[in-house]
Structure 1
Amino acid sequence: MASVTLDELRARDRRLDRRLSRRGASAADLAVLIRTGLIASRASLALPGTPFEHWDPGVWAGHGLLRKGTALRLAEWKPGWLDHYDTTAPDDAPSRRAPRRFDDDVPADVFYQQTMGHAAAKSFGQRDALRAAALAGPGDTVICVLPTGSGKSDVVLTRALRNRPRQAVIVVPTISLAIDLERRVQGLLGDDRDPFAYFGSADPSDKERIRDGIAAGSQWLTIAAPEAACTVLAAPLTQAAERGTLDLIVVDEAHIVAEWGDAFRPAFHALAGLRQRLLDTAPQGRQAATVLLTGTLDTYGLSTLTRLFGGRHRVLVSGQTTRSEPAWWSARCTNEADKRDKLIEALRHLPRPALVYTTLHMSERSTNTRTVRSWLTDAGFAAVAEIAGNPKPSVRQAAVRGLRLDGTPDEDLDIVVATSAFGLGIDIDDVRSVVHVCMPESVDRLYQEVGRSGRDGRAATALVLWTPVDMRVANDIARERLIGPDLAWLRWQSMRHGQWSGDELTVDLRAEHAGVTYPSSRANIYWNVQTLAAMDRAGMIRRSWPVPHDVPVDADDDEVEALFDAQRAAATVEILHSDLDDAEAFRARLAAGQRETRDAAAAALTTATDLIQGIDECVNHYLARRYRLEDDVGNQFPVSVGCGGCPHCRRTGRLPAPAPGHPTLLAGESHAEAIDDLRCLSADGRMSVRLGPSNDSALQTLVDRLLRRGVIVIVTADRKGVAWRTRATGPWWVEDVHAWSGRSNATWRVPTLLVVDPSLGDTILARALSRLARQPLGIVLTPRTRRDPANSRQLLHEAWTPSYEIEDLLRKI
């Protein structure tokens, strides 16, 4: 076996290098980092001259490292309590950072190349999401379901950059993501002077500049958390909407709205009301488009987002794949002591950084965050933080900064112990290990938390350690999420005697019924909010969001969150049914709406327990069925399957494999129209242009003018052979006629130019003309002598009228 020096390990691992410069670094923290480095190097470590040359061999042995003379060697970790089937060690591929994801490298459309400088899109899904976002019109909604690492941020940044100075707001779940996006935009612009990220700890002058810039129309991009959007920034965003300069509203990690509603980060749910208010106040034809971004979504989540963020037109872009980075492992524990021992053993071997999730943070029914923290401290781990309950933004930010090594070495973290409230939206590329010491109450929670790992496209470990008590806790939590119809009716009776303004009712969330002792308590407000949320999901009301006043610009993130909570003392709703003052009708409507929610929760729990207890098929094939989408008109969207390792694949000898690339699945329609001076030259949305020999210069000029007047798609047999030069500022792209004519998808309802090559066969041409006829404007650029494939006795330009010579049309446009 080859040998490496400590300096070589430090050069390869920034985490180890920083740890060795940290005063009082613990042996347990160092040993696991050294183990990871030796696995990656496939070597032993020469101990002479190192700070741990004289450590007791027992310290190393607990981490699977054996001292042989002056060298430290690896011992393979294959514990008998895991189902490795003697094929692979759980820490091997993650320690080596084995690649698990590969880009498809689809040729990029010109508008994406020009804006972001990329010659290729990462996948068909990203390419089509870019098109959908770019084409979305006033009041339209685009839902993009694309896997981690597929370039979702480019989808919205491309539109925001191209549509300047019109304004865009991107709502993100974490401060670190807001800062990352800001740096990305500043890098693209080559200028870091303009602030774009609004967060509490930012420079007060930058925050004031952003807020005032939104109101004045000069701040073309704002990136903020939902709490800030719904409080500090709500008034200036409303001013932008009223002026008609707000072009784009983006919600990142949009699945949070469907999965959590008002139970956690209620500002995500409030975004739907704020967004509707912004659309309602905008001038007709100048409303913002909405883009919802998420990595995973099920049918229930799609239904929820569709209802809450309905638009004039809606496009769904689904390129969902299962995650091929994490390898799935689980072990049943007999009791808490057994769970503790297995957890400590795992963390003495698994690479860092690592996240350890519990369900509970205070209750002692089963493992809570405090208990796990004490286990790790007793085992000697020091670079650990505990994030309990619903943490303040500053606490979340500090933990992310520590895991990402963005602070001083003394602030570095290797492990964060947390409940699910910490994981949502956390964007740390290189998390290598995720351990659950609980039974998650839903597969959505399990999959999202496992999905915090391997975001750099490299192997990770997902381990679940559970007891029968954890199973009972999960069952109880899954059942207790919904308020009952009888109690909801009592609460609605107390709230509905509010202030009317037109069709809207403002209700007091501190309203009390006979069973409430403390009306202003958080518990009473919480359950009143839950009542309205249940009514909203059942289609009984539509919640709006009042614009708050006098929110100080110097408020930090914790204060903004507190202001958001205070803002929820009242709520504004639109009543959608006239019988909500009748008890029986109310209960029936609420129960019907909750049935879907309850069934979805039960199915999510069953899927999670099946995966953890063991199934006789690949985990990712099982997940693919779970996340197979079906929209409200019956369109189905299967999921592409990749697997980084699971019990079934290990047992059957299948090696890890990434998800294969596949065409995007689209639903809905994206509409665009040509400008009037071009559209008026057609008859019933069709026209032809006759092409003679040696018309290259005139052809380039014509295509440039057509693109500048609203043509979006050029269909040609020579997709790569012609470089279309244009000054068009809007989105446009080129399609291969063979592929385009064979697709039945009608998502893109846009002005289209078909370039008829002399070599094109009649069968393909006939199909292309049939599809072209369904576009709002179809232009055929055809040789003068080309015959109509449907009638050989006439020329194509005679069948596709009116028809123009190139020079004649150029004079008209």
Structure 2
Amino acid sequence: MNDSFSELREILKIGKIPEDISHVLEPCHRRLLDALRNSPGSGDIVSLVRHVLRHEDAKQGGSSATTLLVPCKPPFPNRSIWESASITVLREDKEHYLISARPWQPEWLNLADEYPPDAPLFNEKPRRNYEPVSGDPFLQLMKLDKYSNIGQREAIRAVLTAPDSSTLIINLPTGAGKSLCAQLPALLNSRNNNGVSVVVVPTTALAIDQERALKPFVHHATAYYSDDSVEGKERREGIRDRIRAGTQRIIFTSPESLMDSLAPALYEAAKCGILRYFIIDEAHMVEQWGDDFRPAFQEIPGLRRDLLRLNSFTTLLLTATLTESCLDTLETLFGQDLQVISAVQLRPEPAYWFKQCESEELRKQRLLEAVYHLPRPLIIYGTKVKDVEDWKRELTRAGFKRCDLMTGKSTTQQREQLIEKWREGKIDIVVATSAFGLGIDQSDVRAVIHVCIPETIDRFYQEVGRGGRDGKACMSLTLYTTEDFGIARGLNEKSTITIERGLQRWQSMFDKKEPLKDGKYRVPIDNAPSLLEKDIDMQSDQNRAWNIRTLTLMNRANLIEIDSEEPPQKKNSESESEQAWEDYRNSRSIRIRNECHLEKFIWESEVEPVRHQRQSWSHKNLRLMKEALKAKRCISEIFTEAYSIPSRHTPETRNPVIVSRACGGCPVCRENGVTPFPGIMPAPSPVWTKPKFFVGEELQRLLLENNLMLIFYESLEDKSRKRRINKVLKWFVEQGMINIIIPSDLQETLIKEVNRIPNAFIFLWETYQPIKMPHIPTLIFNTEAEKLPYNYLSKNSMSQAPRIIILPRDTPDPSRTDRRLIDVFSGRQFKFDPFCTEIGI
């Protein structure tokens, strides 16, 4: 029995909870003690005590049930409530119950008697199998020394070598560290307070969460969101001022704020050339929400396009759930020099359980049973705001007070408070719509329950993905009724405007166009589509949203291109400024792509297929969700179908997205006795054919238009020569060398030197691997006078980047070991000491 559990036993026996519990290391013990200090409900106590008992059972190997002596007086519950959580009262006296917990084996879940659903959760069984990989020196900027996995490493390296004005889609599994792929380059390229990167996030909760994560590295506010308090206004003004000054470094904001109050500051930053990265986190939302209730998502590309005319920067689109439909959308909106770096491994952590309930009452009973038995923290997802509010009330009534809710109607203050409590372990259950959890990295969620049918397999996979982010086993439980199918079907039917109505809206907007320079037009988005009463009376926000949806649909059909223009400058009077801003907000800049844009036959031939394709993808997504509920094949096969993307040769070549299957347990696998399997994360190949790099003028002079140069040295025993070698390595980094293959004893000194060089970074490799390495300047230092692999000297047809090899004078010729390479190599070569003289070392 461990000391932590012994201490907990003593505390519960005495019944006096200490004020300070910071020394309690076991999370489930600390959560229970915190609850007991803060007037918990009976359901909270029972479930948290069960968590402690079952966790201790698992640690002891299950040889015998762990027992615990607990008070039998309030706030502790009576015997019948303990039994609701499969907790047996073994003995009782006037003051205490002696209790132990049984595995949860509900009769209503198939094979739960053989595979108790809660067992892997309390075992905290590791499921994830990818290992950290050696890091690059610049990771120290965020107090890291390794990448969490190979996908993250190759993604970050691809970001840092992205060509000017290019777009990179980063497709990594949830929990694989996508956020670092944007945050680290943004901070690396603003080390001297001379740059800013903007990160568009779908929810305020995510902006707040990202700000919290970066607090140790960026000490001022970075989350920009609506808050009408005096403090909130000062916060936003401070961010805008720092963007203009180039000292903001990074900012997290919504699409709506980006298009509105942030735009003037970003235009000024672009004019000064200090915009570094333009990032969309959870980029699948560009399609999923941009097509529907957040059209601003699909207006972002227009603003980006206009900013690129002022300032070259890299665009990053981050996602864990890239479908073919989503990729098509992103290519349409962010095309031109767009690449995808992908390392898709399905989540191995969740075990999936599904149960259809014959009535709403039966679903309620089964939900409460699950909540009594499952470990904390856990998330419960519903579809409708009203349903979520009803479930929250049911849980509170059942004695679960450490429970809160989040929906799209939650205020910013409510979201902030919930996230803070959730992180601090002050609440155990969040009941939510899909507004909660997006990108929020709460690592120890052990269970995710759906009391609905998600309208897409995509939404289901994303929400289940909020569990098990620490790589340990978690559970997905879906409780659904027949009525849920109709709700899911209704939500799945995309509210795409008809071509008749769309053409009517477009005609109305285009009739009031204003010509701008460079072939652009300004069109009003607050214009009613007709003079009919139903159109004139339509709420202005609703009317604007439909007009924006019309423009984004036309953009995807290539009839127009949504563009942008610089926001108005301050006028002489406040009223003039307000009017100018009102006009700006109520209009959009566009460029005509098809001169027949007002003809119905063009809408039928160009727009209608886009509408149809959108609906087809949506229907497929729901079909896969229904298939998951039927459990006729392993759920990993269903997810693989959703996220695999075939290669394409026209109109532009596109490499396939390969999915590595994984399953933590599903009805089909349990039926067939298949144990959970994790799959293997694929290692991405370099994506850029012409990555960004520079070669210093001095090195160019010495290369004489060659891209391979050898430098031969005599001995490393000479201390003065070794010091000169360190200086030479630093010189090569200053001249643009990025791929570095050097002995480990030289790395430490070089890393210190590199960190002092402004805007320099290097990638460390153990060996020269031209197929796996980015095609950028490469430096190889060989210490042994042994035969070189042929690829060290062979021409790399895919790269014109220089390759420098420093090697012993006695290195043999790879083609004939009876002679020295220095004597037969006909390309550019130097002896070490003359080379040092040549570069002034």
Q: TM-score, normalised by structure 1?
A: 0.87
Q: What secondary structure is seen at the aligned counterpart in 2 of 1:5?
A: helix
Check whether the contact 1:147–1:321 (CA below 8 A) recurs between aligned residues: yes
For 2:807 and 2:487, the matched residues in 1 are separated by: 69
For 1:5, the aligned partner's letter is: R
Which residue of 716, 725, 731 corresponds with 2:750? 725
Check whether the contact 1:314–1:668 (CA below 8 A) recurs between aligned residues: no
Whether 1:269 and 2:298 are equivalent positions in the alignment is yes
Look up the match of 2:104. Answer: 77
For 1:58 and 1:758, the matched residues in 2 are separated by: 75
Ranges in structure 1 where 5+ consecutive residues have no aligned partner: 363-367, 407-411, 552-562
Look up the match of 1:7. Answer: 11
- Give the direction of change, closer, same or farther, for the CA distance of 1:706–1:797 in structure 2 (3 Å limit): farther
- Give the direction of change, closer, same or farther, for the CA distance of 1:690–1:378 in structure 2 (3 Å limit): closer
Check whether the contact 2:380–2:430 (CA below 8 A) recurs between aligned residues: yes
Q: What secondary structure is seen at the aligned counterpart in 2 of 1:348?
A: helix
For 2:831 and 2:692, the matched residues in 1 are separated by: 28
Look up the match of 2:283. Answer: 254
Ranges in structure 2 where 5+ consecutive residues have no aligned partner: 58-64, 92-96, 571-579, 716-720
Whether 1:535 and 2:554 are equivalent positions in the alignment is yes
For 1:405 and 1:396, the matched residues in 2 are separated by: 14
- Give the direction of change, closer, same or farther, for the CA distance of 1:49–1:27 in structure 2 (3 Å limit): closer
Check whether the contact 2:737–2:778 (CA below 8 A) recurs between aligned residues: yes
Which residue of 671, 696, 706 corresponds with 2:692? 671
Cα deviation for residue 588 of structure 1 reads: 1.3
Q: What secondary structure is seen at the aligned counterpart in 1 of 2:385?
A: coil
Cα deviations by residue, 1:388-412 (Å, 9 ceiling, x for unpaired)? 4554434433433343347xxxxx4
Check whether the contact 1:257–1:268 (CA below 8 A) recurs between aligned residues: yes
Which residue of 58, 65, 68 corresponds with 2:87? 65
Look up the match of 1:123. Answer: 149
Cα deviations by residue, 1:370-429 (Å, 9 ceiling, x for unpaired)? 4434443443433333444554434433433343347xxxxx443333322334334433
Check whether the contact 2:568–2:581 (CA below 8 A) recurs between aligned residues: no
- Give the direction of change, closer, same or farther, for the CA distance of 1:673–1:370 in structure 2 (3 Å limit): same
Look up the match of 2:354. Answer: 330
Question: Higher mean Cα deviation, 238-247 or 719-728?
Answer: 719-728
For 1:760 and 1:577, the matched residues in 2 are separated by: 64
Cα deviation for residue 801 of structure 1 reads: 2.6
Query: How large is the RMSD of aligned CA atoms in angstroms?
Result: 3.3
Question: Higher mean Cα deviation, 180-189 or 470-479?
Answer: 180-189
Number of corresponding residues: 775
Cα deviation for residue 239 of structure 1 reads: 0.6
Write out aligned runs for 1:129-144 (5 A).
Answer: 129-144=155-170
Look up the match of 1:523. Answer: 542
Question: Higher mean Cα deviation, 680-689 or 779-788?
Answer: 779-788
Look up the match of 2:60. Answer: none
Whether 1:471 and 2:451 are equivalent positions in the alignment is no
Which residue of 626, 635, 643 corresponds with 2:655? 635
Whether 1:281 and 2:297 are equivalent positions in the alignment is no
Look up the match of 2:32. Answer: 16
Whether 1:681 and 2:681 are equivalent positions in the alignment is no
Check whether the contact 1:6–1:46 (CA below 8 A) recurs between aligned residues: no
Whether 1:196 and 2:222 are equivalent positions in the alignment is yes
Question: Higher mean Cα deviation, 74-83 or 177-186?
Answer: 177-186
Cα deviations by residue, 1:186-217 (Å, 9 ceiling, x for unpaired)? 4247xx4x333334456654433322111122
Look up the match of 1:702. Answer: 728
Which residue of 377, 402, 418 corresponds with 2:432? 418
Question: Higher mean Cα deviation, 353-362 or 179-188?
Answer: 179-188
- Give the direction of change, closer, same or farther, for the CA distance of 1:265–1:403 in structure 2 (3 Å limit): farther
For 2:308 and 2:821, the matched residues in 1 are separated by: 49
For 1:162, the aligned partner's letter is: L
Check whether the contact 1:355–1:416 (CA below 8 A) recurs between aligned residues: yes
For 2:414 and 2:583, the matched residues in 1 are separated by: 20
Question: Higher mean Cα deviation, 630-639 or 575-584?
Answer: 630-639
Look up the match of 1:166. Answer: 194
For 2:554 and 2:682, the matched residues in 1 are separated by: 39
For 2:370 and 2:803, the matched residues in 1 are separated by: 62
Which residue of 484, 505, 508 corresponds with 2:524? 508
Cα deviations by residue, 1:95-148 (Å, 9 ceiling, x for unpaired)? 443333355121112332x42343321111111122122223431222222223
Look up the match of 1:560. Answer: none
Look up the match of 1:154. Answer: 180
Look up the match of 1:492. Answer: 506
Which residue of 580, 587, 593 corresponds with 1:570? 587
- Give the direction of change, closer, same or farther, for the CA distance of 1:240–1:108 in structure 2 (3 Å limit): same
- Give the direction of change, closer, same or farther, for the CA distance of 1:27–1:737 in structure 2 (3 Å limit): closer
Q: What secondary structure is seen at the aligned counterpart in 2 of 1:648?
A: helix
Look up the match of 1:208. Answer: 237
Cα deviations by residue, 1:262-292 (Å, 9 ceiling, x for unpaired)? 424444333323322221222xxxx122222
Write out aligned runs for 1:352-751 (5 A).
Answer: 352-361=376-385, 368-389=387-408, 391-405=410-424, 412-497=426-511, 498-502=513-517, 503-514=519-530, 516-517=534-535, 518-545=537-564, 569-617=586-634, 619-630=635-646, 633-669=653-689, 670-694=691-715, 696-715=722-741, 725=750, 727-728=753-754, 729=757, 730-737=760-767, 740-741=769-770, 743=771, 748-751=774-777
Look up the match of 1:558. Answer: none
Cα deviation for residue 434 of structure 1 reads: 1.5
Cα deviation for residue 614 of structure 1 reads: 0.7
For 1:134 and 1:576, the matched residues in 2 are separated by: 33
- Give the direction of change, closer, same or farther, for the CA distance of 1:773–1:377 in structure 2 (3 Å limit): closer
- Give the direction of change, closer, same or farther, for the CA distance of 1:481–1:396 in structure 2 (3 Å limit): farther
- Give the direction of change, closer, same or farther, for the CA distance of 1:481–1:666 in structure 2 (3 Å limit): farther
Q: What secondary structure is seen at the aligned counterpart in 2 of 1:139?
A: coil
- Give the direction of change, closer, same or farther, for the CA distance of 1:779–1:54 in structure 2 (3 Å limit): closer
Write out aligned runs for 1:339-350 (5 A).
Answer: 339-350=363-374
- Give the direction of change, closer, same or farther, for the CA distance of 1:733–1:476 in structure 2 (3 Å limit): same
For 1:288 and 1:773, the matched residues in 2 are separated by: 25
- Give the direction of change, closer, same or farther, for the CA distance of 1:769–1:590 in structure 2 (3 Å limit): same
Check whether the contact 2:162–2:688 (CA below 8 A) recurs between aligned residues: no
Check whether the contact 1:391–1:421 (CA below 8 A) recurs between aligned residues: no
For 2:41 and 2:804, the matched residues in 1 are separated by: 71
Cα deviation for residue 481 of structure 1 reads: 3.4
Q: What secondary structure is seen at the aligned counterpart in 1 of 2:436?
A: helix
For 2:514, the aligned partner's letter is: Q
Cα deviations by residue, 1:163-202 (Å, 9 ceiling, x for unpaired)? 223322233344454444444444247xx4x333334456
Question: Higher mean Cα deviation, 237-246 or 328-337?
Answer: 328-337
For 1:791 and 1:162, the matched residues in 2 are separated by: 46
For 2:480 and 2:539, the matched residues in 1 are separated by: 38
For 2:41, the aligned partner's letter is: S
Cα deviation for residue 160 of structure 1 reads: 2.6
Look up the match of 2:48. Answer: 33
Percent identity reads 29
Check whether the contact 1:683–1:801 (CA below 8 A) recurs between aligned residues: no
- Give the direction of change, closer, same or farther, for the CA distance of 1:404–1:719 in structure 2 (3 Å limit): closer
Look up the match of 2:799. Answer: 774
Cα deviation for residue 245 of structure 1 reads: 1.3
Cα deviation for residue 592 of structure 1 reads: 2.5
For 1:352 and 1:648, the matched residues in 2 are separated by: 27
Check whether the contact 1:686–1:801 (CA below 8 A) recurs between aligned residues: no
Cα deviation for residue 666 of structure 1 reads: 4.4
Look up the match of 1:299. Answer: 324
Cα deviations by residue, 1:318-373 (Å, 9 ceiling, x for unpaired)? 122211222111111223233222222222222233322222335xxxxx334434
- Give the direction of change, closer, same or farther, for the CA distance of 1:523–1:233 in structure 2 (3 Å limit): closer
